[in-house]
Amino acid sequence: MSRSPATFYEFFAGGGMARLGLGAGWTCLFANDVDPGKAATYRANFADAPDAAGHFHQGDVWALGPDDLPGRADLAWASSPCQDVSLAGARAGLAGGRSSAFFGFWRLIEGLAAQGRAPRTLVVENVSGLLTSNGGRDIHALGAALAAQGYCFGALEIDAARFLPQSRPRVFVIATRDPPPATLVGEGPFQTRAVKAAAARLPAALAAHWIWWRTAAPPARNTDLAALLEDDAAVDWHSPERTLRWLALMAPLHLARLEAARARGERVVGAVYRRMRVEAGVKVQRAEVRFDGLAGCLRTPRGGSSRQVIVAVEAGQVRTRLLSPREAARLMGLPESYVLPKAATSALQVAGDGVAVPAVRWLARELLEPLLDRPRAMAAE
């Protein structure tokens, strides 16, 4: 017997990567994002979808009311702005200006609940800093809001590196109003030390609502960074002088990694990213290289980090260049058919602000779909 499509709302939708990850077995009832560039990208990629007509709303989530949301969705997905809980940011927490958008979303969930239309399941996706920001008070506040509306909840910390050649750990808080089946509860691969520490800090009243979500471990990743890169002839490489400027930013440890790659006598590809480090009490900009087959976490142009750089070591020579927008899209698991903005900065903004598509697909298949199917199966018995 085939599974009937589950329905969802997608908040802070960006370029629709959560939607892509959920897949064709899901029907989008409503999607929202405030950013014009991301809204245009979303519409460009889903204009021909069966559920496309009129379901996307561009604008501030605070300007929406529950009556703007059609039907009763099985799932509400919220990849709320992360700048204020990011480990790289000011750590203002959920009270910060951008992350306070979460409460605009939560106001809608409360309104839907008052109308008897609360989604059965919620997913709140954010950076790993959500587990510790504001001394742990943010995850407490999120848990308290969920519990007040009758949800039990738990968190998984999933690194996109399990699926893609990009180091991108993210926290997924999954909340449900349905009793979870025993097969979804217990010890699992994504209950990291940070998740366990956050759960241990919960007060007893919230701990009673906590669920230890269990999924199977995904198969080993079988691609590396080099496999996703454009052909050398199809991209623009830095001048030798610009490459030398990158090398000049490297600390001895990273220069040693580069020399070790050169000594291998074969083509070696890596990723370089800039960081601010404190050395002898002084902030210093450094270029850091990795040759482990992974790119560093993709950032957005306005997120405080520069574009990631590709370094190729071959025949004793070192070359560098910028990561291309299409390569960034591949590192997020987007298909080649995905329509990116023409401007590189806009395309990198869409990719860097998104959620890794294969991570969403794994979560949907292993947890969300079994969770939502259980009440349907019980009703059919």
pLDDT in tens, the chain (381 residues): 345 789 999 999 999 999 999 999 999 999 999 999 999 999 999 987 666 656 899 999 999 999 999 999 999 999 987 655 543 444 455 666 555 788 889 999 999 999 999 999 999 999 998 999 888 888 988 999 999 999 999 999 999 999 999 999 999 999 999 999 999 999 999 999 999 999 999 999 999 999 999 999 999 999 999 999 999 999 999 999 999 999 999 999 999 999 999 999 899 999 998 888 999 999 999 999 999 999 999 987 664 456 899 999 999 899 999 999 999 999 999 999 999 999 999 999 999 999 999 999 999 999 999 999 855 443 343
* pTM, entire model: 0.91
- By C-alpha distance, which of 151, 163, 89, 177 is closest to 126? 89
Q: Are residues 70 and 208 in the same domain?
A: yes
Strand ranges for 15-96 from DSSP E? 26-33, 56-58, 75-78
Range of the domain at 272: 231-323
Out of 323, 340, 366, pick the residue that ends a domain: 323
Answer whether residue 330 is part of any domain: no
At residue 87, the pLDDT reads 37
Q: Are residues 201 and 260 in the same domain?
A: no
Answer whether residue 68 is part of any domain: yes
Distance CA 182, CA 180 (A): 6
Residues 99 and 80 sit within 8 Å (Cβ to Cβ): yes
- What b/e readout covers 339-367, taking b as 16+ CB neighbours within 10 angstroms? bbbeebebbbbbbbbbbbbbbbbbbbbbb
> What CATH code is carried by the domain that includes residue 120?
3.40.50.150
- Exposed / middle / buried, residue 266 (Cβ in 10 Å: 0-12, 13-18, 19+): exposed
Q: Provide the residue type at 117 as one letter.
A: R
Q: Are residues 159 and 52 in the same domain?
A: yes
Question: Which tokens sit at 113?
Answer: 């609940």
Q: Are residues 316 and 359 in the same domain?
A: no
Q: Are residues 356 and 295 in the same domain?
A: no
Q: Are residues 209 and 235 in the same domain?
A: no
Q: Are residues 75 and 161 in the same domain?
A: yes
Number of folded domains in the chain?
A: 2
Residues 11 and 78 sit within 8 Å (Cβ to Cβ): yes
Q: Are residues 40 and 16 in the same domain?
A: yes
- HSE (side-chain half, CA atoms, 13 Å) at 198: 30
Q: Are residues 164 and 209 in the same domain?
A: yes
Q: Are residues 212 and 274 in the same domain?
A: no
Q: Are residues 144 and 191 in the same domain?
A: yes
Answer whether residue 329 is part of any domain: no
Q: Are residues 189 and 131 in the same domain?
A: yes
Distance CA 114, CA 116 (A): 6
